[in-house]
Amino acid sequence: MGQHKRVAHAGKISGVNDIALAKAQLRSKILASRVRRESSNQAFTANLLELVSQLDAQSVATYVSFGTEPATTDFISSLLDDGIEVLVPKILPDEMLAWFKWDGVSSITSNLGMKEPDESKLQAVSVQQADLLVIPALAVDRIGNRLGRGKGYFDRELSVQSGSKVYAVCFEDEFLETLPSEAHDQRVSGVVTEVAIHDLN
């Protein structure tokens, strides 16, 4: 699907401290606006499932939505109903992600209040086997730079990705012209919003 022209931009930013500050300010602004949003769950689910169909993905690694993130609950349920393998992440003490084959049932609530796979009941697998990796974003720009929550969980994961297509999920007005970026930031293959699928490379 085509990309839409965006007028929002972060401007020219120099210096690591300026970039970090700009990213922090942008995170705060986006998180505040998300609290006031109406639900777009059905639209997100439809576009995510369309992406899976386009890629003929048989194994999908995806985040489990939390807080103001675009919801993935219905998306995951639909994948399981269709017999598609679903991998979901767990945050390890070293702040890396471990991935588990999801059965739709076996979960625990982490110290952060997030739903995570129960590793005592599920099989750990390599995320490299996934055909598609779906990750959350607060914003993405037109060359694939992604703004996350600043913890770096998914940036570290993307730095070792080799074959999987990686799509970030955010709201349409969070798909921006440019974003402040740093050397460790990892780019994504595309963006899924409640309006469209945007292929970036």
> pLDDT tens digits for 59-97?
999 999 988 899 999 999 999 999 999 999 998 888 788
* Residue 6, domain member (yes or no): no
Backbone angles phi, psi at 176, to 5 degrees: -105, 170
**CB 107 within 8 Å of CB 149:** no
Q: Is the pLDDT of residue 11 over 50?
A: no
Owning domain of residue 112? 16-199
* Residue 10, domain member (yes or no): no
* Residue 8, domain member (yes or no): no
**CB 67 within 8 Å of CB 94:** no
Task: Give the number of domains in the chain.
Answer: 1
At 14 the pLDDT is: 53
Give the pair of three-digit tokens for residue 109.
Answer: 């609530």
**CB 78 within 8 Å of CB 49:** yes
Closest to 177 in 3D by CA, of 30, 5, 22: 5
* Residue 193, domain member (yes or no): yes
Query: Model confidence at 30, in pLDDT bands (50, 70, 90)?
Result: confident
Closest to 80 in 3D by CA, of 99, 64, 59: 59
Give the pair of three-digit tokens for residue 184.
Answer: 């460790």
* Residue 24, domain member (yes or no): yes
Pairing of strands 59-62, 132-136: parallel
Query: Helix H segments across 1-152?
Result: 16-35, 41-55, 73-81
Instruction: Give the long-range contacts of residues 36-43, CB within 8 A, separation 24 or more.
Output: 37/68, 37/171, 39/71, 40/70, 40/171, 40/194, 41/70, 41/71, 41/73, 41/74, 42/74, 43/194, 43/195
What's the mean pLDDT in 177-186? 85
Does residue 59 or residue 155 have the better pLDDT? 59
Q: What is the CA 115 to chain-centroid distance, rounded? A: 15
Say what the pTM is.
Answer: 0.80
**CB 80 within 8 Å of CB 50:** no
* Residue 78, domain member (yes or no): yes
What contacts 20, CB < 8 A, 6 or more positions away? Answer: 182
CATH number of the domain bearing residue 30: 3.40.50.10420
* Residue 2, domain member (yes or no): no
* Residue 103, domain member (yes or no): yes
At 55 the pLDDT is: 97
Q: Is the pLDDT of residue 54 over 80?
A: yes
